[in-house]
Structure 1
Amino acid sequence: MLKLTDTQTLILIRASARPGNLALPLPEGLHGAAAKMAIGRMIKLGWIEEVEANIRCGEPLWRDTGDGHGTTLIATEAGLAAIGIDPVVVKTMAGLRDAKPEAIAAVQRPGTKQAQLIAMLQAPDGATIAEIAEATGWQPHSIRGAISGSLKKKLGLTVTSEKVEGRGRTYRLDQG
């Protein structure tokens, strides 16, 4: 298995967080010959694909074809797999598109407690602190800290809570 460079990893992480897995815009400071080299290598490896841009939707252009059209770049399933992101998970997490791209990639690692916490909060009925503690093995103060620090502050997600009769305070990830 090939080892990704930091630049390749960042491009793919950001693409995984964008609608349609758009790889553009590229990271700040990556332009000119360096950008062409990095993207060329990623295309050769099958991680990025050059496709016709939908100019009406304002998709960023990678290359102007000269006939009034242009191309853009998208991450392929192989590219997402290269950074450990299951394409099915990317589609499932579509409600989180406003969060920071780097944070979304961290959340999408399957099997982590943070991913488990987010999945529980995405459930229609949300989850209580007791339910989360039972599933994760965390202490209640750690759960509240993860919701406040990791989810709200670091990832920029909106978590709401409400008191439910017979169940107690439930927390839910706002999908809107």
Structure 2
Amino acid sequence: MTNLTETQSIILAAGAKRPANIALPLPKGLAGAAAKMTVTRMIDQGLLHEVDADPRCGEPLWRETGDGRGTTLMVTEAGLLAIGIEPVVVQTMVAVRRRQVETPAQKQPAQRAGTKQAILIAMLQKPEGATIAELAAATGWQAHTVRGAMSGVLKKKLGLPISAKKVEGSGTVYKLPG
């Protein structure tokens, strides 16, 4: 049996009581460098596992990965065994999450033709790209709405890799690869 610190025991016990054995939030008073050190040690010992967070389910974030996604912490089978709990449910949840992470690409929703979103995507796919003013004129939206749609829907929701480049005389030109 693993020798656990009091903090580790508290984190594991609290995680075992939560749906999907999510270890977050951490106990009050455990923050910053101390939290990072404790969690890192627990991951190294195999007591916790870092998995992609599902914001639709309201899962708390441990850290952001830099690509707009975040991770959360889940108590592992070894973590449950360390506090004397049988890990049958955890095995199922870990297997499901690993399959989700290992799936190469999720199917994107079908794009309806003729929508303003479709117009934005078509203009961004042109080899020369498009400026905010051009996109606003084509959709009838104001510039801030175009920027919001590109940032929120196209980049975050659909995961499209929009690039921006300053062009002399035109301003910033936005493009989609391919």
Task: Give the TM-score taking structure 1 as reference length.
Answer: 0.49
Q: Say which structure, 1 or 2, has more relative contact order (CA 8 Å, 6+ apart).
A: 1
TM-score, normalised by the number of residues in structure 2: 0.49
